[in-house]
Copies of this chain bind each other. A is one copy, B any other.
């Protein structure tokens, strides 16, 4: 089976690291425009973001991808740290001892013209934050509501724990053959999150606002929209290799909820350290002790706990390899 490493030009260091680690296995890199359809597996660096970027391209081959990340092994889509990749390459090549999961993609047509893909969600908002928009939501040509609010999010099950969840949407477990629709900050209290079969044709039309409106794909790509956005299930789903069973359909979706719980239940010292790292950027243990005025032991215990739970990362300092540098995930 031919295996390649994707190089989309956005994470050159990650690609370089992967190529070095896998040079003895004869694995080469490909660019997004250059993926032949007979490739058996594509290694995609850049963590979950990299995978979402890859699958927003409608023309990728059906080959499954293996996501790798740098120090962020707790992703929903990418399970492996690039350091571990060497340990798994034999399984990819020979034993094929892994699962391939199918993740539905959302086809998004803006103003009846261009077609785009989203793996998580496609929202409609005013370009300027906290600005009202008006729109009409229809499902299978039936008007569901005409609303005014901050916007609306259509999400896949994968995306249900992302932006959609923050705005009050339900957690949709993987394998649910549905899409979620969540009105954001509606002026009307009767507007509810909706779940529809993934075979539905969803339309947000008659979009109006004082200023320009945008369609936002996976929280990253912003496209101008004048009148309407149409949503449906894209013909080919994303195929993702899962080397480990630690993130099954259930636990992957619940993980975020558990993380939020953890944060709520953490001791004040852990919360303080997390806030310091958030506001002041990455720091060593020494710096943290100095800045938080906490006992060294408290900081040490808190860091261990935060690392375990995946809230923070640890890397070796470039200046001093005995020093560990901590940063938030």
Contacts and interface: CB of A to CB of B under 8 A. Distances in A.
A176 B196 CA distance: 6
Contacts of A171: 192-195
Interface string A197-240: 10110000000000000000000000000000000000000000
A170 B199 CA distance: 18
A254 B196 contact: no
A11 interface: no
A248 B177 contact: no
A190 B260 contact: yes
A50 interface: no
Contacts of A176: 176-178, 195-197
A200 B171 CA distance: 15
A174 to B, nearest CB: 8
A89 interface: no
Interface string A171-183: 1110111101000
A308 interface: no
A188 interface: yes
A35 to B, nearest CB: 31
A139 interface: yes
A204 to B, nearest CB: 15
Interface stretch (A97-105, A140-148, A310-318): A140-148
A165 to B, nearest CB: 7
A250 interface: yes
Contacts of A319: none
Given A192-B165, A195-B195, A250-B144, A139 B257 contact: no
| Top 3 A-B pairs, shortest CB-CB distance | A142-B250, A170-B193, A172-B195
Interface of A: 139-140, 142, 144-145, 157, 160, 165, 169-173, 175-178, 180, 188-197, 199-200, 248-251, 254, 257, 260-261, 264
Contacts of A169: 170
B197 A173 contact: yes
Contacts of A191: 257
Contacts of A254: 142, 144-145
A230 to B, nearest CB: 16
A177 B178 CA distance: 8
A292 to B, nearest CB: 26
Contact of A248 (B142, B157, B165, B175): B142
B264 A190 contact: yes
A177 B197 contact: yes
A160 B192 CA distance: 11
10 contacts: A142-B251, A144-B250, A145-B257, A170-B170, A172-B178, A173-B194, A173-B197, A175-B197, A189-B264, A193-B193
A139 B250 CA distance: 7
Nearest to A141: B250
A170 B145 CA distance: 15
A5 to B, nearest CB: 33
Given A173-B195, A176-B176, A189-B264, 4 more contacts: A144-B254, A173-B194, A188-B264, A190-B257
